[in-house]
């Protein structure tokens, strides 16, 4: 189901980006950015920005605009872009609250 796919992507992003669960739940579609075409190699990667200063957000450590490069696995950025297709920039990237995410993860682990 789409919920299970969403949870799987959350878990992989959390592991690869060293992100806290609430950081992932709070991500908006605008926080995921595609590579910049024609740019230097370092800018040809997908990124996620945590705790946007423009939205007056702070991470647990008090930092804003913490950018995480999604360099592995190579399919993660495109899969996350698929999640946000057709949604507004302020829509949640993961359309799940923390409790629902944990419930779906539990169900998936016991199948």
Question: Which DSSP symbol is given to 28?
Answer: B
Q: What's the pTM value of the predicted model, to 2 decimals?
A: 0.83
> Rounded distance, CA 20 to CA 59, Å?
10
Q: Which residue has the higher pLDDT, 44 or 89?
A: 89
> Rounded distance, CA 27 to CA 80, Å?
11
Residue 92's SS3 state is strand
Q: Which residue has the higher pLDDT, 29 or 11?
A: 29
> Rounded distance, CA 47 to CA 31, Å?
8
Q: What percent of the chain has pLDDT over 90?
A: 37
Q: What is the pLDDT of residue 39?
A: 60
> Rounded distance, CA 15 to CA 12, Å?
5
Q: Which residue has the higher pLDDT, 42 or 108?
A: 108
pLDDT in tens, 68-98: 999 889 999 999 999 999 999 999 999 888 7
Residue 66's SS3 state is strand
Q: What is the pLDDT of residue 27?
A: 94
């Amino acid at each position: 189901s789409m919920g299970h796919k969403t949870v799987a992507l959350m878990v992989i992003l959390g592991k690869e980006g060293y992100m806290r669960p609430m950081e992932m739940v709070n991500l908006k579609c605008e926080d995921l950015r595609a590579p910049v075409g024609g740019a230097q190699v370092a800018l040809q990667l997908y990124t996620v920005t945590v705790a946007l200063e423009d939205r007056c957000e702070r991470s647990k450590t008090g930092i804003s605009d913490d950018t995480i490069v999604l360099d592995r696995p190579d399919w993660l950025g495109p899969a996350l872009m698929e999640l946000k297709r057709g949604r507004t920039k302020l829509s949640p990237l993961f359309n799940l609250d923390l409790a629902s995410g944990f419930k779906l993860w539990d169900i998936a682990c016991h199948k």
